Amino acid sequence: MAESEHQRQIEEFGKDDDFWLFGYGSLIWKPPPHFDQRIPGYIEGYVRRFWQASEDHRGTPSAPGRVVTLIDRAHWETLADHDSHTPTERVWGAAYHIPARHVAEVREYLDIREINGYSIQFTPFHPAPFTTQITSPPATSHGASPVTCLVYIGLPENPQFLGPQDTDELAAHILRSRGPSGENREYLFNLEKSLLELSAESGDRHISDLVRRARAIERERGDGSGGEDGDDHRGDRRVGVPLHKVGSTEEQEEVER
Ligand code: BEZ
């Protein structure tokens, strides 16, 4: 698609009260402000990997942490991925509907994310067959037809994109990283937990494998919970905390990837 056409699509998106945002990272447990519907579901044609450096949220410029990005599946197939798990066709996450009157404010708030290397794409989102929704006012029904979603992706050409990572080194790196939004391990553990809560099929083996390796390292070192129950007993207050709505962009801390 020509750059000008893409720009036009970005500007027009959401004009008909149809602004849907797909979250596959921290957005799953840290929703955007002003959403009135949250629907678990999936997109296709991408692979989720912890291949994006984070200098502003889970790391610092001198010691970047690691967060997830999506890689176009056709491109991923050309790469030598160290993760031996073949990813599923579906990338699970949550789609948020932003009412038309809040779109401009939320767009401005979300665009902050692009600074650290993320770009906008549009893709069909498939609601999970049986969804739990957080709506205000409560929705009466929702069809299962796909909706077009906006999604932020750290493309391979962005400077924070790292490409394939050795899985054990990646787990160790996550354990030693922290940034303004907190410990990188908390991001990893929250991501796995919130993914597993979306549906019976929404686990991601890349993420669960990293959690398993990270917990094994912590057990070996005698720190962290290293527990099997998925709960974090090391003062990680976000794990297990129910999703809650915030009313405005001011109330919400700056969005992280
Ligand atoms: C997310 O899905 O949480 C996300 C991904 C990239 C940029 C911003 C948010």
Is the shortest distance between the CB of 29 and ligand 1 below 6 Å? no
Task: Locate the ligand 1 atom nearest the alpha carbon of residue 110 and give its number.
Answer: 8
Is the shortest distance between the CB of 194 and ligand 1 below 6 Å? no
Q: What is the mean pLDDT of the chain?
A: 85
Q: Does residue 157 have a pLDDT over 70?
A: yes
DSSP reduced 3-state for 152: strand
Least confident residue range of 15-24, 103-112, 209-218, 223-232: 223-232
- Roughly what angle, to the nearest 10 degrees, separates helices 184-198 and 205-221? 140
Span from the CA of 257 to the centroid of ligand 1 (angstroms):
4
Q: Does residue 43 have a pLDDT over 60?
A: yes
Least confident residue range of 7-21, 41-55, 65-79, 219-233: 219-233
Question: In angstroms, what CA-CA distances link 173 with 46, 54, 85, 220?
Answer: 24, 12, 20, 16
Identify the CA nearest to 71 among candidates 206, 189, 200.
Answer: 206
Span from the CA of 67 to the centroid of ligand 1 (angstroms):
9
Span from the CA of 22 to the centroid of ligand 1 (angstroms):
8
Q: What is the pLDDT of residue 99?
A: 96
Q: How many CB atoms lie within 10 A of CB 79?
A: 14
Task: Locate the ligand 1 atom nearest the alpha carbon of residue 26 and give its number.
Answer: 3
Q: What is the pLDDT of residue 223?
A: 78
Q: Does residue 98 have a pLDDT over 90?
A: yes
Nearest CA to ligand 1 atom 4: 257
Task: Locate the ligand 1 atom nearest the alpha carbon of residue 93 and give its number.
Answer: 2
DSSP reduced 3-state for 46: strand
Task: Tell me which DSSP letter residue 92 carries.
Answer: E
Q: Which residue has the higher pLDDT, 186 or 252?
A: 186
Q: Which residue has the higher pLDDT, 36 or 230?
A: 36
Is the shortest distance between the CB of 127 and ligand 1 below 6 Å? no
Which of the four pLDDT bands, split at 50, 70 and 90, describes residue 248? low
In the chain, where do the E strands start and end? 19-23, 37-44, 46-54, 65-72, 90-98, 118-127, 147-154, 178-179, 182-183
Mean pLDDT of 100-107: 90
DSSP reduced 3-state for 94: strand
Nearest CA to ligand 1 atom 7: 257
Of all residues in the chain, the percent with pLDDT exceeding 70 is 79
Which of the four pLDDT bands, split at 50, 70 and 90, describes residue 109? confident
Is the shortest distance between the CB of 257 and ligand 1 below 6 Å? yes
Mean pLDDT of 164-181: 97
Q: What is the pLDDT of residue 237?
A: 34
Write out pLDDT tens, residues 192-208.
999 999 999 999 999 99
Q: Which residue has the higher pLDDT, 242 or 74?
A: 74
Task: Locate the ligand 1 atom nearest the alpha carbon of residue 68 and give its number.
Answer: 5
Q: What is the pLDDT of residue 12?
A: 86
Span from the CA of 29 to the centroid of ligand 1 (angstroms):
11
Is the shortest distance between the CB of 25 and ligand 1 below 6 Å? yes
Name the residue of 113, 181, 190, 192 whose CB sits within 8 Å of the most ligand 1 atoms, as the mutation to test its pocket: 113
Which of the four pLDDT bands, split at 50, 70 and 90, describes residue 7? confident
Q: Which domains does the chain have, with CATH numbers?
A: 3-221 (3.10.490.10)
